[in-house]
Amino acid sequence: MFTGIITGMGRIVAIHRLGSSSDHGSRLTIETPAGYLDDVGLGDSIALNGACMTATSLDPAHNRFTIDISAESLDKTCGLAEPGIVNLEKALRAHDRLGGHIVSGHVDGIGRVTHFSQVGESWELRIRAPQSLGKYLAYKGSITVNGVSLTVNRVQDLAGPADEATGCEFSINLIPHTVENTALGQLSPGSAVNLEIDLIARYVERMLQDSPLKQASL
């Protein structure tokens, strides 16, 4: 489990294919800030851009670790198939503060940045989410974007002809600290991002599916 509070920015510096076909995954080498791996053990979970991965080797002397990512995970996430900056978060410990919200590290869908601009001292980030995730987004609700726990400021369902944008667009506010200390500052219109919906919203939907009220309306 995670909280969506980024603990460091890393960089994918090497990618080694684990096979010759698209059915095979890759081994990623990630470079971390100095000292980041001091309390990490082999097999520990670390989220990369919001996707929970397992540390398969550690090289603290060179501030590097590796993870093996399956073809399925590569297909369902973005930002992990090429070298570049990634958000890092170590797994939540029982005595840690829950500074963000409960995050599982399982990506629910890929969003697309539609707008990113500075407003006053902060930045407004708008993202178009897949239509299937729209029902989980609510004003002042939580959403994880590339592993960062954020609050939804506005949400709007999009609908139109087949050649127009559909789905759900939501807006979030990024304070300077978030822009400076996460990889979100690297985003621009058109960028793909990993999205994880609020875990509580997922369970609420499941409970409503089996509720007597819904069954009575059928």
Interval 79-119: pLDDT, tens: 999 999 999 999 998 888 888 899 999 999 999 999 999 99
- What's the CATH number where 140 sits? 2.40.30.20
Residue 214: pLDDT band (50, 70, 90) is low
What is the domain count for the chain? 2
E strand intervals along the chain? 8-17, 26-31, 45-48, 51-59, 64-69, 84-90, 109-119, 122-129, 142-145, 148-158, 167-174, 192-197
Interval 38-81: pLDDT, tens: 999 999 999 999 999 999 999 999 999 999 999 999 999 999 99
166, pLDDT greater than 90: no
Residue 192: pLDDT band (50, 70, 90) is very high
Question: What is this structure's pTM?
Answer: 0.90
Same domain flag for 119 and 200:
yes
216, pLDDT greater than 70: no
Could you tell me if residue 192 is inside a domain? yes
Domain that holds residue 65: 8-90
Is 42 within 8 Å of 57 (Cβ atoms)?
Answer: yes
Please give the structure tokens belonging to residue 215.
Answer: 């069954």
Distance CA 45, CA 90 (A): 6
